[in-house]
Amino acid sequence: AQSVTQLGSHVSVSEGALVLLRCNYSSSVPPYLFWYVQYPNQGLQLLLKYTTGATLVKGINGFEAEFKKSETSFHLTKPSAHMSDAAEYFCAAISFDSSYKLIFGSGTRLLVRP
C-alpha cells in the first residue's frame, strides 16, 4: 500500500534561516504529490503540488519542492524563514489504485525562533 513518510515531527529554525521539511513516498508509480499547511486553529491550505512536468514546483509564500523520482522524495524548502511560517505542514500523495485517495504523512510542526 502506498505510504507517505515525513521525517521529523518538529523542526526548529531561526528567522531568516533555510527551511527544509522532508517527505518520502512509497509507490511503484510516481504519485501526485502535495504539501498542505495548517496554521493554528485553521483548516488545511494547499501550498503546492506536483502532478506532471517540471520537477521543481513553486508554491505560495515562497515555498518550493522538488520531486526526485530516484529518491522517492518531495522535500519542501524555503530560503528564508519568517515568523509567520510557524505552522504544521503535511505532505500527501494521491494513490493510483481505483480510489485516488489522498494519503497524508504524519505532519511536521515548524517552529521559527526570533
- Using CB under 8 A as the binding rule, whether residue 20 contacts other proteins is answered as no
DSSP string, 71-101: GTEEEEEESS--GGG-EEEEEEEE--STT--
- Using CB under 8 A as the binding rule, whether residue 113 contacts other proteins is answered as no
The minimum distance between CB 94 and other proteins, in angstroms, equals 5
In whole angstroms, what is the distance from residue 42 CA to residue 32 CA? 24
The minimum distance between CB 90 and other proteins, in angstroms, equals 6
Q: Specify burial of residue 109 (Cβ count, 10 A radius: 0-12, 13-18, 19+).
A: middle
- Using CB under 8 A as the binding rule, whether residue 99 contacts other proteins is answered as yes
Give the residue, chosen from 2, 22, 49, 64, that forms a contact with other proteins under the rule CB under 8 A.
Answer: 49
- Using CB under 8 A as the binding rule, whether residue 105 contacts other proteins is answered as yes
Exposure string for 54-79, b = 16+ CB within 10 A, e = fewer: eeebebeeebbbebeeeeebbbbebe
- Using CB under 8 A as the binding rule, whether residue 39 contacts other proteins is answered as no
If the CB atoms of residues 6 and 73 are measured against other proteins, the closer one turns out to be 6
**Contacting residues toward other proteins, per CB under 8 A:** 6, 9, 32, 34, 36, 42-44, 46, 49, 51, 90, 92, 94, 99-107
